[in-house]
Amino acid sequence: MCQLLGMNCNTPTDVRFSFTGFAQRGGVTGDHTDGWGIAFFEDKGLRHFVDHERAVDSPVAELIRRYPVKSRNVIAHIRKATQGVVSLENCHPFVRELWGRYWVFAHNGDLKDFRPRLHAHFQPVGSTDSEHAFCWIMQELSKSHAGVPTIDELTLTLRELAARIAPHGTFNFLLSNGLALWAHASTHLHYIERRHPFASARLSDEDLSLDFSTCTTPSDRVALIATAPLTCNEQWTAFESGQLKVFVDGVCR
Amino acid sequence: MCQLLGMNCNTPTDVRFSFTGFAQRGGVTGDHTDGWGIAFFEDKGLRHFVDHERAVDSPVAELIRRYPVKSRNVIAHIRKATQGVVSLENCHPFVRELWGRYWVFAHNGDLKDFRPRLHAHFQPVGSTDSEHAFCWIMQELSKSHAGVPTIDELTLTLRELAARIAPHGTFNFLLSNGLALWAHASTHLHYIERRHPFASARLSDEDLSLDFSTCTTPSDRVALIATAPLTCNEQWTAFESGQLKVFVDGVCR
């Protein structure tokens, strides 16, 4: 099974602590050895890193673990190939532009019989069911709204689209346009909202703790979404099957 | 002035030697200190790095200098902001998807009065004239061809489009879809084709030489395109104003 990690915050936040534990799942505590990727929004701009080496020993992952990129919206993915060969164009997250905004998508699951005809301007570059589903979502979003809709309108549309795809398999996904982060669960997805007073957290996948009270301000809000809880001493909330949640400014709405 | 670097080869080739000299222009031998970027095709897949720190001391540029990514098509850019603020979304190269292929574009020059209305599915994310021109090129390509055209057909269309944009300012650009690399000059652009027998080259911007005969095979073909010659002991060819050239498998056609 692939692994998903998302972060949504009200202030640019360093994701290295969470990514360090998450990257262990790409070859040490998990068998997800078919590539990985991460995308960081910086305002409207995007840093996008993909690699078909194992996250645990990829030089690019090592850069991410050391380099303090701060972002309000992050999506990361570690891949265990079920569909599509192991190659760079099949690594999540995928990126497209719509309405003058980048959109980032990562998927965990299988959609073996979901291959709708794509007649508009979003075509997959690789061969995964995931990128095909993402292109279909982009196509349907662009057909549903003439210009940039509000976050609430987008949430309504995405809820309808997710419900049409989900019956075709397992559809856990993360999607962000830099303003909000949407998360949908079929099977496994958990989230946590961190806020004042911040405490110490201990990673599940590596012997590492961080006292967030030393690197936050009282107004900071940070939401994390992951396939499985990343820390072992905090209370994560499991998504129910079929739930689509939207995170804005570090808060689940 | 911004700086452009392109590489097109018939076999995946390490660009680190050329990038090392090129990156010196982002803060040491040049005053191009407003960010940089590089994109490497790996088959249809793409690695895309952008940074608004100076190339000469950016941690991401340091990774590129150390990490042996091999690619057949590379486009790099160092930015001296003339239009648009210094921010990540304004860093070249820009990327869009068309016909199931990524397209990468970097521009050197100014197009102050070129703001055609964009009515199709390519909208700029940042505020540069360069990204606006790229979106217009993508729009016009998608209107001109129903499906993926041949490289020769694309060259004809691009020649027409470049001729319509060039009168609006200075339009030196590099464009690649992973199969070919197109280069257009208004003012400054040079290229070189390296082939057997390979010799030693010395960088213009740093005291570093490389004997290519030690790391090539007789069938290798490598073309490099740059704003100014990157080496001081090889014969580079200057583009004439208004020329658009296409490079395929390391050969200028």
Closest residue by Cα to residue B77 from B204, B186, B192, B226:
B226
Output the pLDDT for position A81. 65
**Per-residue pLDDT tens digits for B16-47:** 888 888 888 766 666 656 788 999 999 999 99
Which stretch of B57-66, B173-182, B201-210 has the lowest confidence by average pLDDT? B57-66
- Across the interface, whether the CB atoms of B97 and A125 are under 8 A apart is answered yes
- Across the interface, whether the CB atoms of A88 and B45 are under 8 A apart is answered yes
Confidence grade of residue B55 (pLDDT, cut at 50, 70, 90): confident
Q: Looking at the predicted structure, is the pLDDT value of residue A1 above 70?
A: no
Which stretch of A4-8, A58-62, B115-119, B198-202 has the lowest confidence by average pLDDT? A58-62
- Across the interface, whether the CB atoms of B90 and A45 are under 8 A apart is answered yes
d(CA B11, CA B31): 33
Which stretch of B50-54, B92-96, B161-165 has the lowest confidence by average pLDDT? B50-54
Q: How far apart are the first and last CA of chain A?
A: 28
Exposure string of B151-181, with b = 16+ CB inside 10 Å and e = fewer, is eeebbebbbebbeebbebbbbbbbbbbbbbb
State how far the alpha carbon of B183 is from the alpha carbons of B95, B172, B225, in Å. 16, 7, 8
Q: Which amino acid is at B209?
A: S
Confidence grade of residue B69 (pLDDT, cut at 50, 70, 90): confident
Output the pLDDT for position B33. 65
d(CA B51, CA A54): 24
- Dmax over CA atoms of chain A, in Å, equals 51
B196: Cβ contacts below 8 Å, ≥ 6 apart: B216, B218, B219, B220
DSSP state of A221: -
List chain A residues with CB under 8 Å of B42: 87-88
Closest residue by Cα to residue A103 from A50, A178, A10:
A178
Q: In this predicted model, which residue has the larger pLDDT, B124 or B147? A: B124
How crowded is the C-beta side of A62, counted as CA atoms within 13 Å?
10
Q: Which ipTM value was assigned to this complex?
A: 0.93
Beta bridge partners of B106: B174
What's the token pair of residue A24?
Answer: 């262990």
d(CA A88, CA B46): 7
Q: Is the peptide bond before A197 cis (omega within 30 degrees of 0)?
A: yes
**Per-residue pLDDT tens digits for B106-135:** 999 999 889 999 987 899 999 999 999 999
Q: What percent of chain A lies above the pLDDT cut of 70? A: 95
With the CA atoms of A61, A123, B36 and A222 taken in that order, what torsion angle do they form, in degrees rounded to the nearest 10? -50
Q: In this predicted model, which residue has the larger pLDDT, A179 or B36? A: A179
What's the token pair of residue A42?
Answer: 């910086």
DSSP state of A130: H
- Across the interface, whether the CB atoms of B91 and A45 are under 8 A apart is answered yes
DSSP code string of B218-235: TT--EEEEESS-SBSSS-
Find how far residue B33's CA is from the centre of its chain: 18
**Per-residue pLDDT tens digits for A15-62:** 988 888 888 876 666 665 678 899 999 999 999 999 888 777 788 888
DSSP code string of A69-126: -EEEEEEEEE---SSS-SSGGGPSPEEEEETTEEEEEEEES--TT------SS---SS
Domains of chain B: 3-252 (3.60.20.10)
Output the pLDDT for position A29. 66
Confidence grade of residue B190 (pLDDT, cut at 50, 70, 90): very high
Mean pLDDT over residues B219-240, rounded? 95
Name every residue in B having a CB less than 8 A away from some CB of A: 42-51, 59-60, 63, 66-67, 87-91, 95-102, 120-126, 142
| Residue at token pair 């994701």 | A15
List chain A residues with CB under 8 Å of B49: 47, 49
* pLDDT, averaged across chain B: 91
Output the pLDDT for position B34. 77
**Per-residue pLDDT tens digits for A131-164:** 999 999 999 999 999 888 999 999 999 999 999 9
DSSP state of A136: H
Dihedral sign, Cα of residue B108, residue B111, residue B112, residue B114: negative
Smallest Cα distance from A3 to chain B, Å: 21
Which residue among A49, A97, A120 places its CB closest to the CB of B125? A97
Output the pLDDT for position B41. 97
Selected residue of B38, B65, B94, B97 to mutate for chain A interface (largest A Cβ count, 10 A): B97
d(CA A94, CA B64): 22
